């Protein structure tokens, strides 16, 4: 059974942006990507592919610890107390600059210097 399913899948399908948090020797760091980018590449076998343009601090942090947390949300999905639902995703990630994941990213996003490959371990609804 996929880890991103149900309400979390619905949120991912409509999220405008996705925050990506890592931690390194200097503490936590957050960047973001557009939800459209992740949707364009799809979710396969609990793996998210994210095109990388810059994200140099994220790359350095992942060398320190491969743990990553993502947060996405949208007002297009009904929440518990009104419009708006979120989803938190926890997993392990790595930057790839060669191989099938990178090729898939580069085909759709010619500007990408790498693929951020996130192996999802858990997805939980929020809000």
What are the residue boundaries of the structural domains of the chain, listed by start? 1-39+47-56+65-73
Find the radius of gyration of the CA atoms of the chain. Answer: 14
Cα separation, 106 vs 28, whole angstroms: 28
**Encoding tokens for residue 54?**
């810059």
Say what the pLDDT of residue 114 is.
Answer: 98
Residue 65 scores a pLDDT above 80? yes
- The architecture in CATH of the region 1-39+47-56+65-73 reads Roll (2.30)
Q: pTM here?
A: 0.92
Mean pLDDT confidence for 79-93: 92
Backbone angles phi, psi at 108, to 5 degrees: -90, -25
Higher-confidence residue of 43 and 71: namely: 71
């Amino acid at each position: 059974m996929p880890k991103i399913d149900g309400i979390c899948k619905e949120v991912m399908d409509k999220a405008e942006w996705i925050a990506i948090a890592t931690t390194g020797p200097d503490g936590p760091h957050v960047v973001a990507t557009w939800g459209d980018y992740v949707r364009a590449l799809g979710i396969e076998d609990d793996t998210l592919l994210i095109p990388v343009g810059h994200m140099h601090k994220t790359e350095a942090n992942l060398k320190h610890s491969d743990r990553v947390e993502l947060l996405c949300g949208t007002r297009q999905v009904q929440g518990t107390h009104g419009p708006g639902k979120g989803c938190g995703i926890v997993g392990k990630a790595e930057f790839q600059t060669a191989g099938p994941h990178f090729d898939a990213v580069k085909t759709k996003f010619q500007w990408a210097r790498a693929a951020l490959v996130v192996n999802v371990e858990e997805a939980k609804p929020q809000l």
